[in-house]
Copies of this chain bind each other. A is one copy, B any other.
């Protein structure tokens, strides 16, 4: 299983799901901490390992498939490249990927739909990540995992404030829900700023693909809830779904309009993107993402027929530095990364198949 996640560009959320022409994936994350233990940023190795042992014991003691299906990855056993690969697949946060501490680690199931970061910002961050618009399904699965673990772990919970977390913004439900959106029509028609303003007013946040501080290249956006306190988990999920449905509808109407009134221009844009992606000899990750965005729109509008959205999801991850390096089987400077990226894109687009095999296999 581990081998698959590290030596393969594929991960579960790349499949098709509800509304997946616009909503790439949904994610729910629950932050939990053990009672009477210092938060991770104050941990020393001894207590850190103690926490890991408690969590491992709780995980191993349970018989349900949900936990049986998971594998333990100790971060001191993983190379930096492997940790970055987990990050590029959205299975761990960028910050967590940088740590090689013995008390950092990850529990993750076969397709990466369930993962638990250990001693990231909190002792436990239970994440469920599914294709398309499935926020409530994510919440349900994350809750199941949480319920099992809470049976066997002493979790810090305050009747007044709810779950206690390392960062005050997470106190309460400890929940963050997000969806990854692709909004090219809203961007092309110049309605993006207005939308972001509207979203912020409603207490939600828009970010780039790799969360806080990352760019929204290619018109891919992560929409997430801001408020964790004073709302029920289910309501946080419903609010996010309602907002997402509104945005999906707007994007859909604008795509239909583009399709009706600017079909040739869109065909041109999509065609050129395909032409560059299949003929460039070197390409940066930002440029590639921009063209992949156009291609994605082209697939949805039936301009491109032999490429699936799943393949495009996979490409978005395959073109990232660590995945490229794993595929090439060697370290690379920026130029050869750009050259390899062009090669990988060409191969994947022209074969139309998922799951590029890597040099190791």
Listed in ascending order, the chain A residues whose CB lies under 8 Å from chain B are: 264-265, 267-268, 271-272, 274-282, 335, 339, 342
A293 CB → nearest B CB, Å: 16
Known: A264-B339, A339-B264. A276 touches B272 (CB 8 A): yes
A270 CB → nearest B CB, Å: 8
Residues of chain B within 8 A of A279, CB atoms compared: 271-272, 274-275
Q: Which of B272, B275, B282 contacts A264 (CB 8 A)?
A: B282
Rounded to whole angstroms, the CA-CA distance of A279 and B265 in the bound complex is 12
Nearest B residue to A339 by beta-carbon distance? B264
Report whether B282 and A265 are in contact in the complex, using a CB–CB cutoff of 8 Å: yes
Residues of chain B within 8 A of A264, CB atoms compared: 281-282, 335, 339
Sample of 14 A–B contacts (CB below 8 Å): A264-B281, A264-B335, A265-B282, A268-B280, A268-B281, A271-B279, A271-B281, A272-B275, A272-B279, A272-B280, A275-B275, A275-B277, A275-B279, A275-B280
Which residue of A272, A274, A335 has the most chain B CB atoms within 10 A of its CB atom?
A272
A128 CB → nearest B CB, Å: 39
Nearest B residue to A336 by beta-carbon distance? B264
A332 CB → nearest B CB, Å: 13
Rounded to whole angstroms, the CA-CA distance of A277 and B265 in the bound complex is 15
Which residue of A275, A278, A335 has the most chain B CB atoms within 10 A of its CB atom?
A275
Rounded to whole angstroms, the CA-CA distance of A69 and B274 in the bound complex is 48
A152 CB → nearest B CB, Å: 56
4 nearest CB pairs, A to B: A275-B279, A275-B275, A268-B281, A271-B279
Which residue of A264, A278, A279, A342 has the most chain B CB atoms within 10 A of its CB atom?
A279
Report whether B280 and A278 are in contact in the complex, using a CB–CB cutoff of 8 Å: no
Rounded to whole angstroms, the CA-CA distance of A339 and B264 in the bound complex is 8
A334 CB → nearest B CB, Å: 13
Rounded to whole angstroms, the CA-CA distance of A281 and B294 in the bound complex is 14
Rounded to whole angstroms, the CA-CA distance of A265 and B335 in the bound complex is 10
Residues of chain B within 8 A of A282, CB atoms compared: 264-265, 268
Residues of chain B within 8 A of A342, CB atoms compared: 268
Residues of chain B within 8 A of A335, CB atoms compared: 264
Residues of chain B within 8 A of A275, CB atoms compared: 272, 274-280
A305 CB → nearest B CB, Å: 14
A324 CB → nearest B CB, Å: 16
Nearest B residue to A266 by beta-carbon distance? B281
Report whether B276 and A280 are in contact in the complex, using a CB–CB cutoff of 8 Å: no
Apart from A265-B281, A265-B282, A272-B280, 12 more pairs, CB < 8 Å: A264-B282, A264-B339, A267-B281, A268-B281, A268-B282, A268-B342, A272-B276, A275-B275, A275-B276, A275-B277, A275-B278, A275-B280
Residues of chain B within 8 A of A271, CB atoms compared: 279-281
Rounded to whole angstroms, the CA-CA distance of A282 and B267 in the bound complex is 9
A341 CB → nearest B CB, Å: 12
Rounded to whole angstroms, the CA-CA distance of A282 and B264 in the bound complex is 8
Nearest B residue to A279 by beta-carbon distance? B275
Rounded to whole angstroms, the CA-CA distance of A265 and B342 in the bound complex is 12
